Structure 1
Amino acid sequence: MDRHKVKRQRLDRICEGIRPPIVNGPMPARPLVALLDGRDCTVEMPILKDVATVAFCDAQSTQEIHEKVLNEAVGALMYHTITLSRQDLEKFKALRVIVRIGSGYDNVDIKSAAELGIAVCNIPSSSVEETADSTLCHILNLYRRVTWLHQAMREGNRASSMEQIREVAGGAVRIRGETLGIIGLGRVGQAVALRAKPFGFNVIFYDPYLPDGVERSLGLQRIGTLQDLLMHSDCITLHCSLNEHNHHLINDFTIKQMRHGCFLVNTARGGLVDEKALAQALKEGRIRGTALDVHESEPFSFAQGPLKDAPNVICTPHTAWYSEQASIESREDAAKEIRRAITGTTLSNVMTLTTSAGKRDACHLPIGIGVQGISHSPVEVSHVC
């Protein structure tokens, strides 16, 4: 029998009791909040249990989400492992707010969500330190070739002579005096810049959306065009969001504008880099080495895709953001944002609603569904849905 059918039958039985029982007479229906692509609600439950019923779906697509969630959920929490297109969003009949547990929101059709009256929020600050630290680790790894030296040791190369040392450590570069080019100087970009300067990097950046004067406060050099940054950087690191305008920002054309033999690091979004063009540049030596935490297709595998035969590649599985502390903080902040939506208070990081100037702004979204009169001793529900 089809495994999805078996799962759905099992979930039908589980979800029959998703509403709390009537306690001391009639009680308003409690709003339903669903964690779409996860199965652990232990962090979210204490924050939401007095205002909502919380369910988890552990889904990779909306086809795996229970019909009760599609029909009744007013709030959704999600990581980066599920994608919501307009077709997916239209399946939700009562959804009013989506909170992305993390900073990136390119896996949600923001425009369609706005048209459908669904607010989309993100949690941009909880993993800034982790992502910046991971980025610098990747940069240092490329310059000092730690991964390749470790691999040589595992393969039995003891590098006992100077000739062997030169062979296994070939390509290692002194950092002091190198130019690090940062594309996108938001929270993470700034954190990377401040970490890189003490190592001796000359830090430059390109960000057409950043107000004038920020570079002076941070002691950085602003570059007016992307082309100029590519031409003058020894190592380029990406820290911009992904949208329809910058998909494949790094492509064959922009790679040819780079300084020959530069390094490339991407801990932002996989779609920013054309991996086919990158693989070719690595094989030709136009790019000396690359470190990628995000990929065009995730989960990433070296067994397939254009990078499988490319040299000098370091890949990690979209974990630059992660630490135990950051994971808990981002989940807590996401649950608090959902709570604000349900209780009709101000939301902090709304992506779908803008001011007249086109800038993101906080928004008052008075959902307030089923909050009045809710028992303060709710039944805690954390079922697969």
Structure 2
Amino acid sequence: MASKPIVLHIGDPVKFNTSLYEQLSQQFTIIRPSEAERQREPFLQALREKKWGDFSAVLRPWWATGGEMGRWDKELIPLLPSSMKVYASAGAGFDWADVDLMAEAGILYCNGASASSEAVADMALYHILSVFRNMQWSNMAARSQDRAQFVDAHTNAPFTAHNPRGHTLGVVGLGNIGYTIATKAFAAFGMKIIYSDPFPKMPEQEAAIGARRVEMDDLLAQADCVVLAAPGAGGKKILDAEKIRKMKRGSRLVNIARGSLVDQEAVADALEEGILFAAGLDVHENEPEVSVRLVKNRNATLTCHTAGGALETTIGFEELSMKNVLAVLTGQNPLTPVNKHLFK
């Protein structure tokens, strides 16, 4: 009798979708390396020694663990067995894996972006509203226990606050999350939508939200508020000091994507110089550290990388990662492939 395909489960045990995990356990041999085995050097050595055999899939159902070995890069990926077909991970981003190199090796990378779209989009709307309505200024003053600060915010914040309606929202990356953000902003706030993405949406999708695709520099020049919703830029920054200076003067920036996509010191400079009026950042360049300059700036709304942090997201991440493994190893199409288009 042929042996079952092996699935390498990295990270914490499944907490919610236990019946689905049991289904996987019956169809495949699941091996879960210990935390010590998942550290970079022990993990690489285990791969060299084929400690876990010729596994067919890697399952990472919990985004907070399973990343102890660091980035899946040109050092690690060549050590993977030729039998490996899919890496299915929780989380919307994929900056911990070189998905291009995986595609060259014939390995599908599947993420969990669709499970977090609702939560991340809601957080983006919170930040959009905050940067238009001076909510951080008001929040800081209310918590200060200082009468003068309270009165100052109450009296003066309205003079630079605006309703989002009628303003132009520029979305960088109109994938699952970006499109959900645009849909909500269009419906709830009545905003005009422009977007920059190498892959255009279908005409009917654009028409549904009144969206118009433009080049990146045009988006920066036209948008009253720029929202970053791109999964990554190959290690490059989407907004460095030069790009930020191309933004419409007095505009706003919201980042719910990746902190590494933005030069935060350049953001602080732009706020102080008036190039940007306000910024809303859920993700930060050097997490868990946050720029001290931004912390002190009342026009900077800051949250702790919690945009996707809803229970529904966690449950969905688990489920989607397991369903992707199940689909690929049973000869079906993956649910959320990131790099399938890169396959030769």
What TM-score results when the alignment is normalised by the length of structure 2? 0.81
The 1:211–1:163 alpha-carbon spacing in structure 2 relative to 1, beyond 3 Å, is closer
Residue ranges of structure 2 left out of the alignment (5+ in a row):
none
Structure 2 residue corresponding to 1:75, chosen from 46, 53, 57: 57
Q: Which residue of 2 aligns with 1:109?
A: 98
Q: Which residue of 1 aligns with 2:207?
A: 217
Cα separation, 1, equivalents of 2:78 and 2:198 = 34
Cα separation, 1, equivalents of 2:57 and 2:342 = 23
After superposition, where does 1:164-179 map in structure 2 within 5 Å? Answer: 165-167=154-156, 171-179=160-168
Cα separation, 2, equivalents of 1:117 and 1:177 = 46
8 Å contact kept, 1:340–1:346: yes
8 Å contact kept, 1:35–1:76: yes
Q: Which residue of 2 aligns with 1:204?
A: 194
Q: Which residue of 1 aligns with 2:143?
A: 154
Structure 1 window deviating more from structure 2 (195-204 vs 344-353): it is 344-353
After superposition, where does 1:301-380 map in structure 2 within 5 Å? Answer: 301-302=289-290, 307=294, 312-354=299-341
Q: Which has the larger radius of gyration?
A: 1
The 1:199–1:352 alpha-carbon spacing in structure 2 relative to 1, beyond 3 Å, is closer
Residue 241 in structure 1 maps to residue 241 in structure 2: no
8 Å contact kept, 1:180–1:237: yes
Question: Residue 264 of structure 1 aligns to a residue in which SS?
Answer: strand
Structure 2 residue corresponding to 1:270, chosen from 241, 247, 259: 259
Cα separation, 1, equivalents of 2:312 and 2:160 = 36
Q: Which residue of 1 aligns with 2:113?
A: 124
Residue 39 in structure 1 maps to residue 39 in structure 2: no
Cα separation, 2, equivalents of 1:170 and 1:64 = 59
What are the Cα deviations for residues 248-287 of structure 1, in whole angstroms up to 9, with x where unaligned?
Answer: 1212222111111211001122232122322221222211
Q: Which residue of 1 aligns with 2:250?
A: 261
Structure 2 residue corresponding to 1:55, chosen from 19, 27, 32: 32
Q: Which residue of 2 aligns with 1:89?
A: 77
Paired amino acid for 1:35: H
Paired amino acid for 1:273: V
Cα separation, 1, equivalents of 2:205 and 2:106 = 38
Cα separation, 1, equivalents of 2:170 and 2:40 = 39
Paired amino acid for 1:88: L
Percent identity, aligned pairs only, is 28
Paired amino acid for 1:63: E
Paired amino acid for 2:13: D
Using the TM superposition, give the Cα deviation of residue 236 of structure 1 relative to its aligned residue in structure 2, in angstroms. Answer: 0.8
CA RMSD of aligned residues (A): 3.2
Cα separation, 1, equivalents of 2:214 and 2:127 = 26
Paired amino acid for 2:7: V
Cα separation, 2, equivalents of 1:276 and 1:160 = 26
8 Å contact kept, 1:183–1:205: yes
The 1:283–1:67 alpha-carbon spacing in structure 2 relative to 1, beyond 3 Å, is same
Cα separation, 1, equivalents of 2:184 and 2:120 = 12
8 Å contact kept, 2:141–2:153: no
Paired amino acid for 2:136: T
Structure 1 window deviating more from structure 2 (49-58 vs 179-188): it is 49-58
The 1:270–1:61 alpha-carbon spacing in structure 2 relative to 1, beyond 3 Å, is farther
Give the number of aligned pairs. 327
Cα separation, 2, equivalents of 1:249 and 1:91 = 31
Paired amino acid for 1:320: A
8 Å contact kept, 1:182–1:236: yes
Cα separation, 2, equivalents of 1:70 and 1:148 = 55
What are the Cα deviations for residues 31-66 of structure 1, in whole angstroms up to 9, with x where unaligned?
Answer: 442332x31323363231202324254577533649
What are the Cα deviations for residues 315-351 of structure 1, in whole angstroms up to 9, with x where unaligned?
Answer: 3232212321221122112112112333333333333
Cα separation, 2, equivalents of 1:161 and 1:324 = 35
What TM-score results when the alignment is normalised by the length of structure 1? 0.73
8 Å contact kept, 1:48–1:54: no
The 1:64–1:132 alpha-carbon spacing in structure 2 relative to 1, beyond 3 Å, is farther
Larger helix proportion of the pair: 2
Cα separation, 1, equivalents of 2:230 and 2:31 = 33
